[in-house]
Amino acid sequence: MKIALLGIGLMGFPMGRRLCEAGHTVHVWNRTPAKAERLIAFGAIVHPTAAHAVAEADMVITMLDHGGIVSHVLFELGAADAIKQGTLLVDMSSIKPVEARDHAARLSERGVDYLDAPVSGGTLGAEQGTLAIMAGGKAANFERAMPVLKIFGRPTHVGPIGSGQLTKLANQMIVGATIGIVAEALLLCERGGANMGKVKEAITGGFADSRILQVHGQRMVDRDFAPRARMTVQIKDLRNALATASEVGFDAPITTLFEKLYSEGIEHGLSDLDHAGLFVELASRNGMS
């Protein structure tokens, strides 16, 4: 297939590489050209504009920072008008459900099909092809996208347009809150004199075990907060969750609390840390290094 990939950042780069390695003709574009040019070595074709990249594509995939940028690239930079009628656009960015529904409606007017399919699993999942993919849209469009989505990981059709983004918000609510409680629990143990690494080892396999404990908990033990998914990405998703909750009249006090904690961490200079860096904010509150 001829596949256009718009957005070659932390996630887009390994996803683009996997598409190339699967034998597809991959057309790429990124606001910073140097990031897209890294894929030339794998056979990708780099384009100067998003509109050029999508012009001959059978499928267009977007992996951009947020809904505002997706809208800007599609409808202000001319990408939507350049996509051939009948092409399927799969938005794998994490955006608001209401934005996904709006984009789908505007693309439909141009004869372009749409699937919202955000992912979870971070850069490691993107590199290994083990992402959890949450897709919203028509069942026929999901089946059409399935061979490509399987290159990235495990796709699941969760409902109509916007449902993929809603599921991603649920995912990020759980991730953000769990990172916070793992950090708080490990710091409490350290303050009390226990070895954090041994605490993590002791509760592994018990009822409190989780992927967050294993991956992010280990980053906390190692004090490794190099960004895989930044604090700024986590807070964006929590704020999108709260905005969506407000739209449907749902009270989300736990998410509200963690939005405040991540926000204060960012205000204290932690914006470029991995989202496990909430540990640093909680440590600082307790006078711990």
- Between CA 172 and CA 100 the distance in angstroms is 17
End-to-end CA distance of the chain: give it in Å, rounded.
52
* Residue 72: closest CA among 118, 106, 48: 106
- Between CA 210 and CA 19 the distance in angstroms is 30
- Between CA 72 and CA 78 the distance in angstroms is 9
Per-residue burial over 159-170, b if 16 or more Cβ lie within 10 Å, else e, is eebbbbbbbbbe
The verdict on whether 84 is a catalytic residue reads: no
User: With contact defined as beta carbons under 8 Å apart, do 206 and 239 qualify?
Assistant: no
- Catalytic residue (choose from 96, 168, 200, 236): 168
Return the structure tokens found at 85.
């009628």
- Between CA 196 and CA 184 the distance in angstroms is 11
Return the structure tokens found at 119.
């992912």
Widest distance between CA atoms in the chain:
64
Q: Mind telling me the catalytic residues? A: 168
